[in-house]
Amino acid sequence: MERGLILLAAALMVFVAPGVQGTAHLSFATNRTVNITRDGCGSTKLCVETPADCDPAGNGTCLFGAVNTSTPMAPNGTDLSIQLRGNSQGYVALGLTANASVGITMLFICAQNSSNNGTFFFRTMQRNNTDSMLSPTETIVREIRGSVEGDMIRCEFDVPGVNATSTRTSHAITFSILLGSGTVTGGVIGAFNSTLNSGPLNITNPASNVVNTTPAPTTTTSGASSVLYPHALLLLLSVLTLSVKLRA
Ligand SMILES: *[C@@H]1O[C@H](CO)[C@@H](O)[C@H](O)[C@H]1NC(C)=O
Ligand SMILES: *[C@@H]1O[C@H](CO)[C@@H](O)[C@H](O)[C@H]1NC(C)=O
Ligand SMILES: *[C@@H]1O[C@H](CO)[C@@H](O)[C@H](O)[C@H]1NC(C)=O
Ligand SMILES: *[C@@H]1O[C@H](CO)[C@@H](O)[C@H](O)[C@H]1NC(C)=O
Ligand SMILES: *[C@@H]1O[C@H](CO)[C@@H](O)[C@H](O)[C@H]1NC(C)=O
Ligand SMILES: *[C@@H]1O[C@H](CO)[C@@H](O)[C@H](O)[C@H]1NC(C)=O
Ligand SMILES: *[C@@H]1O[C@H](CO)[C@@H](O)[C@H](O)[C@H]1NC(C)=O
Ligand SMILES: *[C@@H]1O[C@H](CO)[C@@H](O)[C@H](O)[C@H]1NC(C)=O
Ligand SMILES: *[C@@H]1O[C@H](CO)[C@@H](O)[C@H](O)[C@H]1NC(C)=O
Ligand SMILES: *[C@@H]1O[C@H](CO)[C@@H](O)[C@H](O)[C@H]1NC(C)=O
């Protein structure tokens, strides 16, 4: 609980930005464009996209996600920097899961409110991979930047302290990355339609999906990770729901 409060304070410091309005939801307006490109894919960031090799900087349909990680794994865990870009009148989302058919997926959702001129907003949700139900989760997310132009949604955010050490296995850095989209109806997030599943990737290695020759060997340890990870995810991604509205 105490740690939760400390993290809350840290996050609030990040969010108390110029133009804060309202009380329940921290919100602020920005005119800054969010630029998302392929620069660094395979070297400083791990990129996934559909259709293959599509250009997130272009105007075409392209659902693109990129993850980079801070180097220190211990003792404070890894910080993730995530970029997401896609086309939707509702939302696009990036999911992290140990196994897309069991356990849970953490969904990071970048959305537009079409009844309010395409206002950007951000949510985190948890998807039950068995029955696809979404439920709100409390996850620390910092430095959320987002923009909406027509159906093009772009956002960037950081997820601090994904703590791999507490799972006692390096395999807690093995995630499948999901990309997909869904509807927003009256501010309510609709079902997640997953259109890409990367399969298990070492998310600390930007090139882990570049050489696509041999799949990772199936060992008893990788089995263990899929059992451990959903649990770890619940414990580690902590205590705060942030809802941030940006006007592009
Ligand atoms: C995004 O790119 C545009 C055009 O290149 C540039 O004017 C703008 O400053 C960039 N924004 C950021 C945040 O880098
Ligand atoms: C991750 O991306 C952020 C923002 O672009 C950058 O400051 C940081 O250096 C990157 N980290 C790595 C390990 O490349
Ligand atoms: C993308 O669309 C904008 C605005 O419609 C236009 O100015 C720009 O030239 C287009 N870029 C490409 C690469 O087509
Ligand atoms: C870990 O977090 C603590 C408390 O936030 C901080 O004082 C310490 O410098 C961090 N250590 C590393 C290696 O980042
Ligand atoms: C995901 O879980 C299913 C059911 O337990 C299992 O058959 C499959 O091998 C797992 N996939 C991975 C990549 O661990
Ligand atoms: C919505 O967008 C239209 C056209 O860009 C603009 O005229 C109108 O003032 C906007 N309304 C709000 C509430 O921002
Ligand atoms: C996911 O849904 C299934 C079926 O409704 C349920 O048995 C299971 O407990 C749920 N898992 C979680 C983590 O909520
Ligand atoms: C990460 O896990 C280790 C081992 O359980 C623990 O000592 C450390 O405090 C954790 N760090 C954070 C930021 O929760
Ligand atoms: C899910 O997305 C695919 C590809 O964009 C689309 O063809 C399909 O109709 C969508 N399904 C639902 C239920 O929205
Ligand atoms: C993940 O990738 C990093 C960076 O390439 C590497 O140091 C680490 O050993 C890899 N871990 C696993 C479990 O493959």
pLDDT digits (tens, 9 = 90+) for 165-205: 434 344 567 888 999 999 999 889 999 999 999 998 888 88
* Residue 218 pLDDT > 80: no
Q: Residue 18: phi, psi to the nearest 5?
A: -55, 140
Mean per-residue pLDDT of the chain: 72
Closest atom of ligand 5 relative to the 225 alpha carbon: 14
Q: Give the model's confidence band at 246: pLDDT under 50 very low, under 70 low, under 90 confident, else very high.
A: very low
For residue 97, what is the enclosing H or E element? strand 91-97
Q: Give the start-to-end residue ranges of the domains of the chain.
A: 3-202
pLDDT of res. 116: 76
Residue 74 CA to ligand 8 center (angstroms) comes to 8
Q: Which ligand is nearest to the CA of 230?
A: 7
Q: Give pLDDT, residue 98.
A: 85
Q: What is the pLDDT averaged over residues 19-42? A: 58
Question: Of 19-23, 44-48, 228-232, which gets the smallest average pLDDT?
Answer: 19-23
Distances (CA, A) of 81 to 4, 24, 61: 21, 26, 23
Contacts of 52 (CB under 8 A, 6+ apart): none
Number of residues in the chain: 248
Nearest to 230 by CA among 98, 94, 73: 98
Could you report the per-residue pLDDT of 149-170, keeping only the tens digit for each?
999 999 999 988 775 443 434 4
Between CA 63 and CA 214, with CA 102 as vertex, the angle to 5 degrees is: 65
CB-hemisphere CA count at 13 Å for 55?
4
- Give the whole-angstrom CA distance, residue 195 versus residue 197: 7
Cβ proximity of 70 and 78 under 8 Å: yes
Which has more confidence, 72 or 238? 72
| 31 has pLDDT over 80 | no
Closest C-alpha among 79, 62, 92 to residue 189: 92
- The predicted-structure confidence for 77-121, as pLDDT tens digits, reads as follows 678 899 999 999 999 999 998 888 888 899 999 999 877 778 899
Task: Choose the residue to mutate in 130, 132, 229, 231 for probing ligand 7, maximizing ligand atoms within 8 Å of C-beta.
Answer: 130
User: Burial code of 130-162, b = ≥16 C-beta within 10 A, e = fewer?
Assistant: eeeebeebebbbbebbbbbeebbbbbbbbbbbb
Average pLDDT over residues 237-247: 34
Please tell me what DSSP assigns to residue 216: P
What spacing in Å lies between the alpha carbon of 57 and ligand 1's midpoint? 11
What pLDDT was estimated at residue 26? 34
Which helix or strand (DSSP H or E) is residue 92 part of?
A: strand 91-97
**Confidence at 74, pLDDT banded by 50, 70, 90:** low
The domain defined by 3-202 carries CATH number 2.60.40: yes
Q: H or E stretch including 247?
A: none
Q: What is the predicted pLDDT for the residue at 230?
A: 34
